[in-house]
Structure 1
Amino acid sequence: MGNPAEGLVALLDLEPIEQNIFRGRSPQESLQRVFGGQVAGQALVAAGRTTEGDRPVHSLHAYFLRPGRPGVPIVYQVERVRDGRSFTTRRVVAVQQGRTIFHLTASFHRPEPGIEQQLPMPEVPAPEELPRLTDEIRRHLGHLPEALERMARRQPFDIRYVERLRWSTGDLTGAEPRSAVWMRADGPLGDDPLTHTCALAYASDMTLLDAVRVPIEPLWGSRGFDMASLDHAMWFHRPFRTDEWFLYQQESPIATGGRGLARGQIFDREGRLLVSVMQEGLFRPKEDRKDPDSPAPDTGRPGR
């Protein structure tokens, strides 16, 4: 591929096997499990391929059930739940080696006129005023570790944290459970609206759980917790392009019982709210691994 963004487009281009059945690639990675955003994005592609083109997705609700194995294809089975006059509903089951690893339900809606209002976008520096994530890491460490160097070459998104990265627990005094990043695909994604929607679903799982950890430990360096996405929900409000800058504002209202809840709002540069996101994640002390069938620890998501 010419660049990582082209690789993302190819990753989201599923192979049709049979009516309502698709197969997605799962690249061989050094991670212990398939990145959850990849599975969500591919599942949404499968759902969208069975709907009318004039009905963009307006919401999705998903559960990560088992860890996926890198390098092993994933089969997506689509159930056509409903085709109404205004709404279309699809249910997708992702299967790998005979085991269900992921469920997604997506609803599609033909746009229509209605009321208009939204909360304003927070005031933050422009993305051009902020360093790329890899540049900030390289400046702090004096180099980019080899594992991060390899990951950066495959990273399909340019990520820029609004606030400086915290590198030690001494930096956490008074820190609130909030985080914000500017993001955009690191190259053009073409003009298919479904590709942009599914690419954003991919990106939405990359940094959201950071907000849970901000008051507890630095986002970079050694972790005291294994992390895994448990469920994920998105509401799509307006059309957008994922290869243009968007602000991902994230916060965590609560973390308790081994789980942390995070919510996000995605704005374009003009301050329009594009997408709302909710996710719950597992946060388990690294020495406490009891359930072999629970989602695998997140030991290195793309971009981290």
Structure 2
Amino acid sequence: MKTANELLELLDLKSIDSVQFEGVSKTIGSPHVFGGQVLAQSVNAAYRTITNQRVLHSLHAYFLEAGDLNLPIVYDVNEVRDGGSFSTRRVLASQNGKAIFILAASFHKLESGYDHHIQMNADLKQPEELLSWTEMLSRYGSVLPKITKHFLEIERPIEFKPVEVVNPLKQENLPPYSNVWFKLKDPLQDSDLATKQQVLTYISDYNILAAALLPHASKAHFGNTQMASLDHSMWFFRDFDYDDWMLYSIETPNASNARGFAKGNIFSRDGKLIACVAQEGLMRPMVKK
């Protein structure tokens, strides 16, 4: 999957009936379905039942089972409520009749009101000063650990440029935060807000849980730690465009009981707060037998 159009095709589910839809999967390098994919496809399914121009403002989801890349995913939508201002939908994703994921989503009619948001860190390096994942692979691929190299070799429609670059050959604990610029590799033209939100939901599952490893990087890495998303919440605040870089600013307040927690703010290049994300995931040290 190389282009934004291919990503949109992945997220645009086949309709079985008015409240049931089916999707396929594309790998991002892991042996299971990418969490961002099932999140975004579920949002697509929920939006397909919204007929009153309401806009997604929040979602809350649980990952129940690892998804099989080779099986279709069926999304069943429960139209829970259409109130005077808000509409609520519940989505169940399953494979072979077994539930793998649940999502609750709330949609709000467009209204005006008070407006404020926190400021983006203006001291961060800009994307033009940084190397992308693609450039890192080209420059350092011969010395990267095999698991890192394989991950970076997967073709994606999104380019990522981390501000804080982790040296996988230098094992040291790092501060509990991460900032990553991201941009679609080709334009997403003439898209409505619903489509842009689905793409942002897909992207939001990249990088966030990895931040929870940073304070333990002297001993923990992807090769010796079992990691999987457990839940994911997201709040959408403003319309936006994909015509420039956006910033995913992540911090990880806690890790305990074989779980890691991280939260992130997503800003447009000019500093507008577009969305907030929170995720807890499995972060289990592997014990050699």
Closer, same or farther in 2 for the Cα pair 1:10/1:57, shift >3 Å?
Answer: same
Corresponding residue number in structure 2 for 1:27: 26
Corresponding residue number in structure 1 for 2:224: 224
Closer, same or farther in 2 for the Cα pair 1:244/1:288, shift >3 Å?
Answer: farther
Matches of 2:270 and 2:87, distance apart in 1: 30
Structure 1 counterpart SS, 2:38: helix
Matches of 1:221 and 1:252, distance apart in 2: 16
Provide, for residues 196-237 of structure 1, a one-character-per-residue CA deviation record: whole Å limited to 9, x for no partner. Answer: 101111110010012211121279975321100000000000
Aligned residue pairs, count: 286
Corresponding residue number in structure 1 for 2:134: 134
Structure 2 counterpart SS, 1:6: helix
State the Cα RMSD in Å. 2.4
Corresponding residue number in structure 1 for 2:110: 111
Closer, same or farther in 2 for the Cα pair 1:161/1:29, shift >3 Å?
Answer: closer
- Judge which range, 260-269 or 106-115, deviates more: 106-115
Corresponding residue number in structure 1 for 2:41: 42
One-letter amino acid matched to 1:271: G
Provide, for residues 57-78 of structure 1, a one-character-per-residue CA deviation record: whole Å limited to 9, x for no partner. Answer: 0000000000000021100000
Matches of 1:288 and 1:19, distance apart in 2: 49
Deviation at 1:54, TM superposition (A): 2.3
Corresponding residue number in structure 1 for 2:198: 198
Matches of 2:54 and 2:154, distance apart in 1: 35
Structure 2 counterpart SS, 1:214: helix
**Equivalence map 1:205-284=2 (5 Å):** 205-217=205-217, 223-242=223-242, 244-284=244-284
Structure 2: runs of 5 or more not aligned: none
Contact 1:213/1:219 (<8 A) preserved: no
Corresponding residue number in structure 2 for 1:161: 162
Structure 2 counterpart SS, 1:125: coil
Corresponding residue number in structure 1 for 2:60: 61
Deviation at 1:103, TM superposition (A): 0.2
Matches of 2:29 and 2:164, distance apart in 1: 29
Deviation at 1:85, TM superposition (A): 1.5
Contact 1:212/1:252 (<8 A) preserved: yes
Deviation at 1:150, TM superposition (A): 8.2
Contact 2:137/2:153 (<8 A) preserved: no
Structure 1 counterpart SS, 2:216: coil
